[in-house]
Amino acid sequence: MSDPRLLRAFLAVAEELHFTRAATRLYVAQQALSRDVRRLERELGAELFVRTTRQVTLTADGERLVPYARRVLAAQEELLAAFGQARPLLVDLNSPGLVTGRRVLHRARELAPEHELMARFESGLTWAAGELIAGRLDASFGRYAGLDPALRGRLEHQPVRYEPMAVVLPEDHRLAGCETVPLDALAGEAVYAGAGNPRTPEWTDLARRLFEGRGIEVAAPAPLAVGDEEFQRIMAKMRNPILVVVDFPAMPSTVIRPLVDPVPLSLVSLVWRKGLVHPGLGALRRAAAQLAAEEGWLRRPVEGWIPAIDVDTISAHN
C-alpha cells in the first residue's frame, strides 16, 4: 500500500462515522472518498466499515486499523518535515486583536523561518478544538480547562499565560471614570461573556464561575456577530459591560478597565491535537516557553483568582 491518501480517507470516515462529513472535512467528493475506502479494503482484504442507510460503524478490522493508520500518517509527516517538505502549520489566534497568541506566533516564525506558520481566526477554543481534531487546524490558544473532557482527551496543551481580566464599559458608564474596577462594583450588572455563542462556551463558563455569589449576571445571548465591525455594533446597541482580558483591543466609545479585588485570571494554553508531528509545532512550543519565561506570564499573582479546575489543569501538566 503506497498511497497515504487511502489511510487519510479511512481515518476521516472512522472519526466522523459519516461519509458526507468525512468528504467535507477532506475537501473531496463523496464518491472519490468512497472509492478510496473501497480500494483500501481490497488492498487489505478486509471490510473496514458496516454501511447501512442509517449509519456507518467500524468493523473489528476497522477498529484494529485505526491506531496503525494514525502512526503511519504521523511517520509520513515526520519524514516530510525532516526533508524540509512540511506543509504549513495552521495556527488559530482566536481573533485578530488578541496579543498572547500573536506574540507566540511571531516569535515562532523567528525561531523557524524555514517553515510556514499561518494564522487563522476561529474565535473561540471550543470551536477550534473541533477543527483541531478534524485536522483542519493544527494549534490554537485558549482556556483548555473549559473544554468538554471528551475534547480534552484528544488534545495536548501547554500553559502559556495567566492573563489578567478586564471589563469594557461604555464611556458614559458609572464606572468608566475608575482606573480599575473592583469586582464587587459590578454587582447588579449583566456582563456580556459570550453566552449563547457556540464557539466560546469555555469563556462563558469562566465568567459564570467568576460571577457566582457576587450578584453579577451573565448577560443574555446576543445575536451572533461575525467580524469586529458587527461585534462592536451589537455591543454598542446592548450597552452591557463586556468581560475581556487586559490586552483586548480598543472599541469606539468605550473604555477598558482592569478588574481587581481580586484580579481574575484567564489561564491561556497552547493547544494541539494528540499525535501531531510538525517542526513548526516545536517552534511554537519553544516560543511559548521563551515568552512565558521572559515576561513572567506563568507567575501567578498572589491576589489573583482562578477556578479550581484551571489550577488542577496546570498542576496535572506540571
The structural domains of the chain, with segments of one domain joined by +, span: 4-82, 89-162+266-317, 164-264
| CATH number, span 4-82 | 1.10.10.10
Q: What's the CA gap between 131 and 253, in Å, rounded?
A: 35
What is the pLDDT at residue 61? 94
Q: Please report the pLDDT score of residue 115 as a whole number.
A: 83
pLDDT for position 84:
55
> How confident is the model at residue 27, as a pLDDT?
61
Domain with residues 89-162+266-317, CATH architecture: 3-Layer(aba) Sandwich (3.40)
User: Is 164-264 in the same CATH topology as 89-162+266-317?
Assistant: yes
Pick the CATH number of 164-264 from 3.30.70.100, 3.40.190.10, 3.40.50.10860, 3.30.70.360: 3.40.190.10
Burial-class residue 50 by CB neighbours within 10 Å (0-12, 13-18, 19+).
Answer: exposed
Beta bridge partners of 268: 161
Calculate Rg over the CA atoms of the chain. Answer: 22
Q: What digits encode the pLDDT tens for the residues 86-123?
A: 678 999 999 888 899 999 999 999 998 888 899 998 88
Kindly report the pTM of this predicted structure. 0.75
- The ranges of the chain with pLDDT < 70 are 1-2, 25, 27, 80-86, 317-318
Query: What is the grid cell recorded at 133?
Result: 481534531
Rounded to a whole number, what is the distance in angstroms from the first to the last CA of the chain? 41
pLDDT at position 15:
87
pLDDT at 209: 97
Buried b (16+ CB within 10 A) or exposed e, 142-170: bbbbbbeeebbeebbbbbbbbbbbbbbbb
